[in-house]
Structure 1
């Protein structure tokens, strides 16, 4: 028998994160393209980001038939947040800059690359990247490499780079509560054994 679930954050009602989810405005529009395997993931950080940003849109799928329409948002320049040798580091807007439509694939690195492979229009977008050296707060899994962040962390870092001095840190509150809840559920001993410094 499944536990009653919050229809907004999709967490069990006893662990609803909605009171922690902010409602932040941003000059940047964020388009999250989520691989279907992430939808029921316990730490669905793309959903948290979409709920906490007024100018964000979450679409779930593998092949996005309506991608041309999703990318053609008047007044925005579409950029893919994904590493590449020619990716441009994100920099703060100048007053005259047209804001970005920041396209963020959500999934494991393998699944995110698959989304690009299945959607050539997505793969063809100019790419942007985050500053090097970011450290994830996601203490429940080993990062695949330096600078590997969860989706919500990457979005926060991107928006802070683009829209400084505005702070998007409140977006991380439900994410951190989620992690604390997972650690509490597994118990400190299990957490230290599996995820502690080692």
Structure 2
């Protein structure tokens, strides 16, 4: 007997009865965003990068590991930056001190290992200036075991960078579907399982 698949929303990829689209904003931002999502991450139930792209007016999501069109795409921008830590990575404040502002934000999405694979598979990314975050608060990603409390989900990192680039614009709404998704995951696993696996309380 064939097993029927649960219908899913084409936009947010959630089951239709748990569609997150009513919570997804359509926020303006000066700096376009390109998310390079590793193929394995696109199958993850908590696809936070997809939610970020859906909530922004000038954002794209490319899925893969090696992107043949990337060189030509980057040629259209004067100051593209890669959101990725490194010895020469700078903060938004340091960019501003040099009287520069990025005109494209590139965000590798995946585990640290998968994100590095994207960098190695696309040499043009290694030539870009790097941007890093000043993480002041712990991540709200309460159903993930991160290397440290300041490791952010992609959607959190993107929201923070855009807020730093445009302090006059609030990007809190970008996190609403993410927070709802986390609450649903915790409710589905139950308080006891959540507390045992993640040391949290509902």
Q: With structure 2 as the length reference, what TM-score do the two structures score?
A: 0.91
Q: What is the CA deviation profile of residues 90-142 of structure 1, one whole-angstrom value per residue up to 9, with x for unaligned ones?
A: 13869x85542000000000000010011110121110101143310000012
CA RMSD of aligned residues (A): 1.8
Matched, 1:123 2:123: no
Q: 138, 141, 151: which one pairs with 1:148? A: 151
User: Secondary structure at the residue paired with 1:158?
Assistant: helix
CA distance in 2, matches of 1:146, 1:197: 13
User: Secondary structure at the residue paired with 2:71?
Assistant: helix
Q: Is the 1:27–1:99 contact (alpha carbons within 8 Å) kept by the matching residues of 2?
A: no
Q: 134, 137, 145: which one pairs with 2:137? A: 134
Q: Is the 1:33–1:103 contact (alpha carbons within 8 Å) kept by the matching residues of 2?
A: yes
Q: Is the 1:32–1:103 contact (alpha carbons within 8 Å) kept by the matching residues of 2?
A: yes
> Where do 5+ consecutive residues of structure 1 fail to align?
none
CA distance in 1, matches of 2:170, 2:96: 15
- Aligned residues, how many? 196
Q: With structure 1 as the length reference, what TM-score do the two structures score?
A: 0.93
Displacement over 2 Å in runs of 4+: 91-94, 96-100
Aligned residue in 2 for 1:8: 11
CA distance in 1, matches of 2:96, 2:171: 16
Offset, 1:197: 4.6
> Where do 5+ consecutive residues of structure 2 fail to align?
none
Aligned residue in 1 for 2:66: 63
Offset, 1:195: 1.2
